[in-house]
Structure formats: C-alpha cells, structure tokens
Amino acid sequence: MTLKVQAAESRIEQLCIEHGLKMTGQRRVIARVLSEADDHPDVEELYRRALVLDSRISVATVYRTVRLLEEKGILERRDFGGGRARYEATEHGRHHYHLIDVDNGKVIEFEDPEHEAFMMKVADRLGFEFVSMRLELFGKKRQPASKAPGKTTPRSRRKGDQT
Amino acid sequence: MTLKVQAAESRIEQLCIEHGLKMTGQRRVIARVLSEADDHPDVEELYRRALVLDSRISVATVYRTVRLLEEKGILERRDFGGGRARYEATEHGRHHYHLIDVDNGKVIEFEDPEHEAFMMKVADRLGFEFVSMRLELFGKKRQPASKAPGKTTPRSRRKGDQT
DNA sequence: CTACGTGCAAAAATTTTGCTTACCG
DNA sequence: CGGTAAGCAAAATTTTTGCACGTAG
C-alpha cells in the first residue's frame, strides 16, 4: 500500500492558488505554517516555524510573503501592542475579535455574529465596500481578591509575548 | 488692560496634572500639540508640530512622552497600516471609530454610541475591566463609475499618509 | 524560456537607551 | 536640594531592498 505523503494542499495554499499566485516551495511552507497556526504569530515566529519544515527559507521571504498575502486579503495584520505585527488568516463572514490583557499581553478571542454585519452596514452607509476590520479590546483581569497590582512590565522589546 | 498670554492649560495638560505627572516645558508643549490635533499624528508629525512651539525639543522626548501618556490612558495608539504608530487623545465614554480607505489611506471617523457600552459588557462578561478599545474598518470607496482601478501604491515607507 | 521569487547582506526606518546636564516641586 | 526629565547620539529592532541566481508555469 502506498502512503499519501503530505500531498494535501493547506487551506491557505488553496487560497493562494485561487488568487493566481505562483506557488513556490517557500510559499507552500509558509502557507502551511499559517494554516496550522491557531494563534497570532509575528514574522519572527512564522520564520521559526517555517525553518522547521524547510531550512532554506529566509526571513526576507517571510516578510515578502505576508505582505503579499495581506494585500490579497488572505491574511490580516494585527497589532496587539508588542511592537511587532502579528498575522492570522482571514475568516470571511465570521470575524472574531481580540481582548488583550494589558497586564500580560495574553489574547482572548471572542465572537459576535451580529457585529460584522453591522460593520458592513456602516461601511455601506459611508459609501464604502467592506474589505476587512479589526476590533481590539484592552482590559485588566477583574477579581482583585488577593495580591497587590505589581508593576510587572519589563520595559524593553519583549520578545516572547503571548498568543 | 493686561492680556492673558496663553496662560490656559491645554486639556491634555490638565489630564497630566490630574495624573500627577511632573509638567516640564516640553510636556506642556507636546500636551498642547496633542490637544489641538484633530487628526491622528504619528511621532514624527508630533515632533514637527512641537518644534514650531519650542525649538529645543528632541524626538526622544516625544517618544518618551507618548509612551507615558499611553500608559496613563491619556492617549491611544492607532495603527492605520502605514507602519508608524499614530496617536489621539482618549475620549472616555465617547469612542469614535475609524474607516480607512485602503486605496489612499484616508481616515474617516464615525461613531456608534451603543458600541462602547456593548464592548464594556463583553469585557465584563469575560471577567475583565474595560480599559480601552480600537475598531478599525477597512474599505474601498464604492461607485466605480469611471476610471480603471489604478495600482496607486508606491511600495515603500510612505512618509505622508493622510489624516 | 521568461517573468517572477528567493537568499543574502546591506540599508532604511522606527523606537529605545545610556549618560550628562537641566529643572520641577 | 533630590529625583525625575531632556538632549544627543549611539544602539537595538523591525522591515525593506539591490542584485545575482533559481524556478514555476
């Protein structure tokens, strides 16, 4: 019996093809990494994950690729306040939003089905065709039941932010 | 009769004082620039405007100040896709949102009175105390009644973005 | 075959910082 | 006065690019 050796195209690769992009080995790898990510990796993280699958990829290519995919509407860029852009796949018709814990940078996702529809209506009313949106909510965890606040903010380029 | 020679504190300066910040000449200038801005200037633009009022201000100070004010919740940082952070004064209880024209970077503001209340409820439901939020809508101007699309995107660090 | 993609390293752009001096409270 | 802020220039980061070469279609 023959094995199917990873023949399946990743979801993002599929989208790339639909958009008529030339599929190079690197793009396939990056597409796969993106397809499998269920968090919000920045370029450096994408690069790291891509390297595992294919060691001859350069950061430059990752940058070029995310920019391309963003322009095509396949990816969306986020800014959760860490100074570096984070990416996630676009989910048409089913947007989710982000609640960022300002104390530790953790990101919680939530949905609101009516919200996107409402935004589309807003765009329409203003004479625009909806392209995409971003909604970020910043908050502090409630429940001050114990310790002191604690200024836990190491003031420097934080490499390892969460989710 | 004596003239009131700019004795009035700017709104932002007022807030700084309430937050117990030491008011230096530079901060006063930057606070004033921010108070008078009705757009979304980036650091470089703030620096330019501050220089007009006081020539001995350095960019470093502008960076340090916006960071400080953002931490205090007096300012909010925005990302309209130009690669540089933009700032605007926080308006508690009356958030407005941004619709960015993806073709030319122009920003249109709009409001939705119920929206912030709704977001606060969401935060609360998730166990968080609302700190702030951001909502950005990206769209293309409708009405393709004339010319061709036109790839009007000079691909490089664009210095002069709109609004 | 040819246009487009990639690697590499250098360049550009943005933001942060170390250190000394200035100045608010 | 004492501690914080500012200036200046250097450093750190993040992102883009020029060029020679590789490759998808």
Between CA A4 and CA B130 the distance in angstroms is 50
Q: Please, which residues have CB within 8 angstroms of residue A87's CB and are 6 or more apart in sequence?
A: A34, A40, A41, A42, A43, A46, A66, A70, A75, A76, A77, A78
A154: left (phi over 0), alpha (psi -120 to 50) or beta: beta
Q: Are B66 and B104 in contact (CB under 8 A)?
A: no
Q: At what angle do helices B11-18 and B25-36 cross, to 10 degrees?
A: 130
pLDDT attached to residue A141? 92
In this predicted model, which residue has the larger pLDDT, B40 or B144? B40
Nucleotides of D under 7 A from a protein CB: 4-10, 12-18, 23-25
**Cβ neighbours of B70 (radius 10 Å):** 17
pLDDT attached to residue A126? 94
pLDDT attached to residue A25? 95
pLDDT tens, per residue, chain A with 163 residues: 644 455 578 999 999 999 999 999 999 999 999 999 999 999 999 999 999 999 889 999 999 999 999 999 999 999 887 788 999 999 887 888 999 998 888 899 998 878 888 899 999 999 999 998 999 999 999 976 554 444 333 334 445 456 6
- Please check the confidence at residue B11 and state whether its pLDDT lies above 90: yes
- 127-146 in chain B: CB under 8 A from chain A: 127-143
Residues in chain A: 163
Q: Which residues of A touch B81 (CB under 8 A)?
A: 77
Radius of gyration over alpha carbons of chain A, in Å? 19
In this predicted model, which residue has the larger pLDDT, A103 or B29? B29
pLDDT attached to residue B79? 87
**Cβ neighbours of A8 (radius 10 Å):** 10
Q: Which residues of A touch B134 (CB under 8 A)?
A: 134-136, 138
Whole-number Å distance, CA B61 to C1' C3? Answer: 48
Q: What is the DSSP string of chain B?
A: -----S-SPPHHHHHHHHTT----HHHHHHHHHHHH--S--BHHHHHHHHHHH-SS--HHHHHHHHHHHHHTTSEEEE--SSSS-EEEE--TT--EEEEEETTT--EEEEE-HHHHHHHHHHHHHTTEEEEEEEEEEEEEE----SS--------S--S----
Domain ranges of chain B: 9-93, 94-141
- Looking at the partner chain, which of A124, A133, A137 has a beta carbon nearest the beta carbon of B123? A137
| B8 and chain A in contact, CB less than 8 A | no
Q: Are B12 and B74 in contact (CB under 8 A)?
A: yes
**Beta-carbon separation of B99 and A122 below 8 A:** yes
Q: Which residues of B touch A139 (CB under 8 A)?
A: 123, 126, 128-131
- 60-119 in chain B: CB under 8 A from chain A: 77, 79, 81, 99, 101-102, 108, 110, 112, 119
B55-108 residue pLDDT tens: 889 999 999 999 999 999 999 999 887 778 999 999 887 788 999 998 888 899
pLDDT attached to residue B80? 87
pLDDT attached to residue A30? 97
Is A95 annotated in a binding site? The answer is yes
- At the topology level, CATH places domain B9-93 in Arc Repressor Mutant, subunit A (1.10.10)
CB contacts < 8 A, A to B, total 89
3.30.1490.190, 2.40.110.20, 3.40.1390.10, 3.40.50.1110: CATH of B94-141: 3.30.1490.190
Between CA B21 and CA B27 the distance in angstroms is 9
Nearest nucleotide (CA of B20 to C1'): C25
pLDDT attached to residue B140? 92
Whole-number Å distance, CA B3 to C1' C13? Answer: 45
Q: Is the overall model pTM greater than 0.75, yes or no?
A: yes
Whole-number Å distance, CA B154 to C1' D17? Answer: 14
